[in-house]
Structures are given as structure tokens and as C-alpha cells.
Structure 1
Amino acid sequence: MISNFLTDDNRQRAADAGLLVLRCAAGAVFIAHGFGDLSQEGGVGVNVENYRGAGIPVPELAAPFGAFMQFLGGIALIAGLITRLAGLGLVVVMAGALIFVHPGQPLVLAEDGSGSGFALIMAAAALTLVLTGPGRLAVDHVLGRLIGPRRTAEPELQGLGSRAS
């Protein structure tokens, strides 16, 4: 039974399922955080002040970027649509949180209720999807199959140097 599970095809299916679970879990968390930022009383303007207080550069742009990136990026992750691009944007948001909001904080909750662990694991999840892509259970995969492999503009060079003139 174990030997059947470890076939290349089953490994690929397991990897695809694992990436789907990761995309859905991370996407749901990002959506919840982004929606919270967008729907709170005072809207994103409240976050502008919070970002300013944390020393985040250009908070008037960073706060809406963070809120919309988390909300829309989370949706994109779940769908597996523009996964690598969405993941990259989410890595930027989480890197900002680690650098400006949680510098020097322990991974687990500190006395004041803060910690860097959450931002770190969310950054790692997003980076994993940037590096691996979404897997085969994703809109990106379906679109890739419909569009087909990318063609290069380079001419075929096979045999050009071996011909006698």
C-alpha cells in the first residue's frame, strides 16, 4: 500500500492537494484580515494612522495597498489565479509587517499580546506559493493548458554549425 502511494503520479496528486490546502488556508486568513481593514469603521483611513505610527513609509499608499492586497490576494490564492503575482504582493505586505510592526518581537505572544510568528508564517506561506506555483488544482493550471506552452522568439538553431558550405 505504501509503495502504491509513493508512485510519481500519487506524489504529484499529494503535492497538488497540499498546495490547494495551503492556498485555501492562507487565502482565507488574508481575506479575513483584508476585509477587516476595509470594512472597519473609518475604513482604511484608520490604518493610515496606524501605519504612520508604526513608521511605515508613505502610509497613505501602504495602508490601502496592504488592505486590498490581503483581500484580493487572498481571493486569488484560493482560486489559484495569478498565484505567483498575488503571493509576491502578500510577501511584500508581510515583510512590511515584520520589519515595521514586529521588529525584535518573539515568535510567540509577548506580554502585550503581540508577536512576529503570525506574520512570519503568513510570509512563508505566500513565499512558498511564489516559489512552487499553485499546483494543478488551480485556475492558473487550467489557463496554462488552454493557452499552451510559451513560444520563444528565438529561431531554431539545430544543425546550423554542422553544415558544410
Structure 2
Amino acid sequence: MSDDWKKDRVGAAKRGENPMVLSRMPSGYACIGDTQFLPGYCVLNSDSSADHLSDLPLPERTQFLADMSLLGEAIMTACAPLRVNYSIYGNTDHFLHAHVIPRYAWEDTERVKRPVWLYPPEWWNRPDIAYSDERHGEMRERIRLALTELMG
């Protein structure tokens, strides 16, 4: 499969072409992360045209944040991390999205105390920890099922 869907992740999700989609949520698409050096890493991509959280009217903003928290709860249920971190930046991809990042007891003590972005940049692109159905499909399904249950 071509990686062309990465050029427009939200459009590809709307067309059913984004293979990382876990679930449609009221505010957008919950997706498994491209990298899995922290197993269960996910991203919530807004399906609005918003570039920033503050671009959304308050009801839609509230829905996006609620969906983000449900995705985090699903990761907690499926992966049992110590905690989940939530990040909204928009520095690179100019569409509203939230990173939902599990943190684990097995991480180096100094790393777990700091933002995940301080992991070496190459970790975000290493093939041996990139998402694959073979290595991560069972975990992905656990997250999807937990999210489905939470959304009722």
C-alpha cells in the first residue's frame, strides 16, 4: 500500500483510506500512532477545518477534548501504562490533532519525567518500532474495543 494517505490523514480517513484509523469519534478520527516505541501511542485527528483548538466554537472544542480523554481512557484500559500524557501542538501538521501518549514504568527514570518529544528524533521513524499489524495488531484491537465500549 502506498503512503499517499499520509499527505492528508483526515481526508484519507473520511474516504476510508487511512489504515491507522481505530474509530470514528464525534469530533474526528482516533488513530493508532505511526510509531509504537511507547505501545498504545495514538492520535486524535479533528475532522473540522480548524488549525488550532481555539478555532473551534466552544461546543466542538469541548467535544474534541472529551474525545481525547476517552481515547486516553481506552489506552489506559488496553495497555495499563502508569499514566497517559496529552499534547496538542500543530507545529508541523497544520490541522487540529492531539497526541495521546502512554507512559510506562519500564521507561528510563529520567525519560518518564520529561516530555516524550525528548526521545531521540530517530525513534519516531525507526522501522523496528513502526506500527505493524503483525507486532501491534492485538494491542490495537484492545484499544479499539475499549474505545467502542467507552463511547457506548
| TM class, shorter-length | under 0.3
Of Structure 1 and Structure 2, the greater strand share is in 2
| TM-score normalized by the length of structure 2 | 0.27
